[in-house]
Structure 1
Amino acid sequence: MPVTAPNAEGARTVALLQQLIRFDTSNPTGDTAALAAFLRTQFEPLGVQTDVIVAPNGKAVHFIARLKGDGSKKPVLLAAHADVVPVERDKWSVEPFAGIEKDGFVYGRGAMDFKGGMAVFARAVMRLAEQKVPLARDVIFLAEADEEEGQYNTSWLAKDHWDKMDAEFALNEGGYILQGADGAVRQVNVTTVEKTSVVLRLRTNGPVGHASRPLPSNETANGKLIAALEKLSVHEPGIRLIPQTRGYLEALARQNPGPTANAVRKIFAVADGRTQALGERELMAAQPANAPLLRALMHNTMAITMIKSGQAANVIPGQAEAIINARLLPGATTDQLIDEVRRVVGDDAVNVDFATPVSQEATRKYYQAKSNIPESSTDTELYRALRTQAAAVWPQAQVVPVLFEAGTDAVAWRERGVPVYGIYPYPLDADILKGMHGHDERIAVRSLYEGTDWVYRVLLDVAKK
């Protein structure tokens, strides 16, 4: 049964998370040096081998702890990113880097994404060391840098330090453990494949002029860009169901007979586009709290994230630019994406290309390589342990291999053929999900207790002699 009552192991995870939150690792600038040094003080007294790898910028610092086994099996690795996104302090009800516990939650930037996961992963490995569990394989814990933003991420780390992070299989962030209004967990989602994150740039040019003499909007850089963004903002890419999304929807329908199940059946009517679109609208109405996630699982998506134009309030600018963050389903290509954006915009005066510091062709090849990375097999010892031990902790839950709608640093392993399974290792609901990258980010203390129990059980399952 779930370990939800106060207990020493869960309390240690909560305390560790509070300490981790207190290191401001906002990216930019992504300075994780102090956090890495702190982790070393936690692992080394337990006899765990540690490494600290500093990137050329002196700020992106990766921490690696290796708990040794007898080597009869290849290692299992647990990776969690140490950097977090910035905060708007005035929008928070608490200090975002204080690690405050109140009303059954730990608040702070990274509490859910992903220092909470780091605390759960780290404590599971520490517990193996503390209890001197005999191991058949090394257990590696990695606190990675530059996952949210920057060039010194796990792909950089793997180029020169692959021997320190090679494993038979790995855990990373990803799938959500969803709980209902009653607090019961009924679905444990384990990521086996991810969307590809693509950053596009839209640029327009026009005459420069004095703001007191406005020009026709269809001639100005700003006017052209605004018209293009208006079209993109209402554009709805079509539904495409990959096997993982189909499995997710099937599980959702089993748990929710009635309107949700009826909507899913219509979405599966792939030969009838109108019925499929109607099913999606009905599903959004039946599952309003989960609508953004469900939409992301079924579509390629585009979000306007940055707009840049002008240098003075009284000058009509000659150039305007917007950044679009697209997330592509497996099988979709960047050529298709750019063609779609150009078709929707319908204006040759709007230049569409990759936002990249390198060449357009090099970036295209990079995205093409990422899109060809195979999904992680569910026929491994680690995936079976995740499923078995989830049933022990959450008996009512079904485990489902799913698509992750965002992106992670798992690509460094996947492109080398190492299966990676993505989890947010604690139950959460739609309200907690909204806090990811938002204000008052938090995670429930009870969820940390249950996640700690689950991951420790999984490590015993796959690593114990």
Structure 2
Amino acid sequence: MGFMTSSHIPSDNPLYHDTLELLIALVQNACVNDFTPGSGQEVRNADTLTEFFADTLGINIQRFEPEPGRVSLVVTVPGTNPQEAEPLTFLAHTDVAPVDKQHWTKPPFEGMIEDGKIYGRGTVDMLFITAAMAVVTREVARKGGNLGTLHFVAVADEEARGGLGAKWLAEHHPDAFSWANCVGETGGSHIHGQDGSDSTIVYVGEKGAAQRRIHVYGDPGHGSAPYGKDLATVKIGEIARRLAAAQPAVTDSDTWRQFVAAFRFDPNTTALVKQGKGYEHLGELAAYGDAISHLTISQTVLRAGQAINVLPSHAWLELDIRTLPGQSQDYVDSVLDDALGTDIEYTIEHLITEDATISPTDHPLYRAISAVFTDFFPDTTVVPTIAAGGSDLRFARQLGGVGYGFAVHNPERTLGEIHRQLHSHDEHLYLEDLESTLAGYLALVAAFLYPSNPEAFRHP
């Protein structure tokens, strides 16, 4: 079908304008999830989406509300021959991260359009995808004839790890939709090689969680007489120093090797970066490269004492630890023990733990996504990678399905630039990327749900 830039999709394309209008409405609903009880109120976006599908025949809509206002929506377009074609699930979320309004130069909840961009919280994470998925789902329902079943799932609470959204559905209503073949955020950004080559990203997995709290104990006493005391604060300081010096082993996984190869470095630099000794060569992706190449340990919370004149007998340090696929919780504890040694007594408490997940690249859905990218960008190389953070796609993988992050950004949008937009001030999306993502989802459903009619959603 060829890559559809804004010049290829006419300005009067009703599907694009429906997508933009829906995106603006979702941004304006301001479903901010700040982790506090009652925040999010995704019911506003659920109601907007319900109204969007109101006159659509041939669909089934389910609403789930585990707590007041925390509504998730499941829209299903049944397939005509589910034995011949696999189901496909668009897994989207409707909540957004908080904003610090004093640092925004654009209104965060208006969906303001300026210079070919739409500004607002959630425009990139991930309401533009949510809107495009909804429009394509409605178009499939209107067209009919889809062999496989299509689900559009718009969940609450993704920003807080899905406890009232995808995680809750997976635990309480796992049969509400198919988890077999899921597409979610975000993917489709680019890495530019030093030789001018282009690579397009598909997220195939994400790091796991291995949160820890390390406790140390010391002598209590009056702050005026510290002599001879075993000080908990000194111990926790040394614990922090040793953890900062820890160097977990760098992976040799296929995803890491392909990520490094996308930069087209000279052989010496390639070897250096693969070993984790030259992250600076990755430029704007240095921090991301570091994150996906090994276990990461971030020291985020430190606590000790209450009154300034009392020596605390207890101190603790909380760690946000992210694991690679295949790294167990026992492995995490062994890394910590090796880093901390045996001369300081400490205990390790496990907090949130969740193993990393990854989907195969030898899979029909991954191949269909890759085909869309190579159709849109004939000279690109499709590169699978993992997300350093989390997404709802992990629940699909945990339930035996696959999950891929897929959108379509124009080649000017690098992976580093898209990362900078996530939870940022003045978050914004290029409108041509909204057009491209819409076209990409149309192409994907045509290939996956209409295998005998791949031209099903060709647009002029």
User: Aligning the two structures, in what range does the TM-score lie when normalised by the shorter sequence?
Assistant: 0.7 to 0.9
* C-alpha deviation, 1:425, in angstroms: 4.2
* Correspondence list, 1:82-161, <5 A: 82-130=94-142, 132-149=143-160, 151-161=163-173
**Which ranges in structure 2 are unaligned for 5 or more consecutive residues?**
454-460
* Contact persistence 1:177–1:185 (CA under 8 A): no
Report the counterpart of residue 249 of structure 1 in structure 2.
260
What SS does structure 1 have at the residue aligned with 2:54?
Answer: helix
Report the counterpart of residue 21 of structure 1 in structure 2.
27
What SS does structure 2 have at the residue aligned with 1:26?
Answer: coil
Cα separation, 2, equivalents of 1:309 and 1:193? 37
* C-alpha deviation, 1:139, in angstroms: 1.0
**Would you say 1:355 and 2:389 are equivalent positions?**
no
Report the counterpart of residue 389 of structure 2 in structure 1.
406
Cα separation, 1, equivalents of 2:387 and 2:92? 16
Cα separation, 1, equivalents of 2:440 and 2:78? 21
Task: Name the CA shift for 1:158/1:102 in 2 (closer, same or farther; >3 Å).
Answer: same
1:39-97 deviation per Cα after TM superposition (whole angstroms, max 9, x unaligned): 11112222232111011x32432111112321333421010122233232223223333
- State the one-letter code of the partner of 1:129: A
Cα separation, 2, equivalents of 1:98 and 1:215? 57
- State the one-letter code of the partner of 2:433: S
Task: Name the CA shift for 1:158/1:217 in 2 (closer, same or farther; >3 Å).
Answer: farther
| TM-score normalised by L of structure 1 | 0.83
Cα separation, 2, equivalents of 1:38 and 1:395? 37
1:299 aligned to which of 294, 306, 325: 294
Report the counterpart of residue 448 of structure 2 in structure 1.
462
Cα separation, 2, equivalents of 1:228 and 1:33? 45
Task: Name the CA shift for 1:340/1:265 in 2 (closer, same or farther; >3 Å).
Answer: closer
1:23-44 deviation per Cα after TM superposition (whole angstroms, max 9, x unaligned): 2231313331221121111122
* Contact persistence 2:72–2:155 (CA under 8 A): yes
* C-alpha deviation, 1:313, in angstroms: 5.8
What SS does structure 1 have at the residue aligned with 2:175?
Answer: helix
Task: Name the CA shift for 1:63/1:303 in 2 (closer, same or farther; >3 Å).
Answer: same
- State the one-letter code of the partner of 1:406: G
| TM-score normalised by L of structure 2 | 0.84
- State the one-letter code of the partner of 2:50: R
* Contact persistence 1:197–1:326 (CA under 8 A): yes
Report the counterpart of residue 3 of structure 1 in structure 2.
5
* Correspondence list, 1:324-339, <5 A: 324-339=319-334
* C-alpha deviation, 1:176, in angstroms: 4.7
**Would you say 1:435 and 2:421 are equivalent positions?**
yes
Cα separation, 2, equivalents of 1:94 and 1:309? 40
* Contact persistence 2:86–2:448 (CA under 8 A): no
**Would you say 1:54 and 2:65 are equivalent positions?**
yes
Task: Name the CA shift for 1:315/1:115 in 2 (closer, same or farther; >3 Å).
Answer: farther
Task: Name the CA shift for 1:11/1:306 in 2 (closer, same or farther; >3 Å).
Answer: farther
**Which ranges in structure 1 are unaligned for 5 or more consecutive residues?**
269-275, 357-362
* C-alpha deviation, 1:377, in angstroms: 3.1
- State the one-letter code of the partner of 1:421: Y
Matched residue count: 432
- State the one-letter code of the partner of 1:414: R
Cα separation, 2, equivalents of 1:308 and 1:106? 42
Task: Name the CA shift for 1:251/1:355 in 2 (closer, same or farther; >3 Å).
Answer: same
What SS does structure 1 have at the residue aligned with 2:134?
Answer: helix
Report the counterpart of residue 32 of structure 1 in structure 2.
42
Task: Name the CA shift for 1:285/1:376 in 2 (closer, same or farther; >3 Å).
Answer: closer
Task: Name the CA shift for 1:64/1:218 in 2 (closer, same or farther; >3 Å).
Answer: farther
* Correspondence list, 1:350-389, <5 A: 350-356=346-352, 367=354, 370=355, 375-389=358-372
1:132-168 deviation per Cα after TM superposition (whole angstroms, max 9, x unaligned): 2421122101112222215233232123322222154
* Correspondence list, 1:409-428, <5 A: 409-427=392-410, 428=413
Task: Name the CA shift for 1:19/1:314 in 2 (closer, same or farther; >3 Å).
Answer: farther
Task: Name the CA shift for 1:239/1:380 in 2 (closer, same or farther; >3 Å).
Answer: closer
2:284 aligned to which of 281, 289, 314: 289
What SS does structure 2 have at the residue aligned with 1:148?
Answer: helix
**Would you say 1:226 and 2:233 are equivalent positions?**
no
**Would you say 1:392 and 2:392 are equivalent positions?**
no
Cα separation, 2, equivalents of 1:441 and 1:222? 40
Structure 1, 342-351 or 287-296: larger mean CA deviation? 342-351
Task: Name the CA shift for 1:234/1:53 in 2 (closer, same or farther; >3 Å).
Answer: same
Task: Name the CA shift for 1:94/1:305 in 2 (closer, same or farther; >3 Å).
Answer: farther
Cα separation, 2, equivalents of 1:220 and 1:18? 56
Cα separation, 2, equivalents of 1:223 and 1:111? 45
Cα separation, 2, equivalents of 1:208 and 1:425? 59
Choose between structure 1 and 2: higher helix proportion: 1
Report the counterpart of residue 458 of structure 2 in structure 1.
none
* Contact persistence 2:203–2:406 (CA under 8 A): yes
Cα separation, 2, equivalents of 1:115 and 1:135? 25
**Would you say 1:239 and 2:250 are equivalent positions?**
yes
Percent identity between the two aligned chains? 24
* Contact persistence 1:187–1:400 (CA under 8 A): yes
Structure 1, 319-328 or 139-148: larger mean CA deviation? 319-328
What SS does structure 2 have at the residue aligned with 1:377?
Answer: coil
What SS does structure 1 have at the residue aligned with 2:429?
Answer: strand
Report the counterpart of residue 209 of structure 2 in structure 1.
197
* Contact persistence 1:323–1:355 (CA under 8 A): no
Report the counterpart of residue 18 of structure 2 in structure 1.
12
- State the one-letter code of the partner of 2:359: S
* Contact persistence 1:120–1:452 (CA under 8 A): yes
Cα RMSD (Å) of the superposition? 2.9
Cα separation, 1, equivalents of 2:422 and 2:110? 17
Cα separation, 2, equivalents of 1:418 and 1:293? 26
What SS does structure 1 have at the residue aligned with 2:106?
Answer: coil
Report the counterpart of residue 79 of structure 1 in structure 2.
91
Cα separation, 2, equivalents of 1:87 and 1:178? 27
**Would you say 1:45 and 2:55 are equivalent positions?**
yes
Task: Name the CA shift for 1:384/1:311 in 2 (closer, same or farther; >3 Å).
Answer: same
Cα separation, 2, equivalents of 1:181 and 1:433? 18
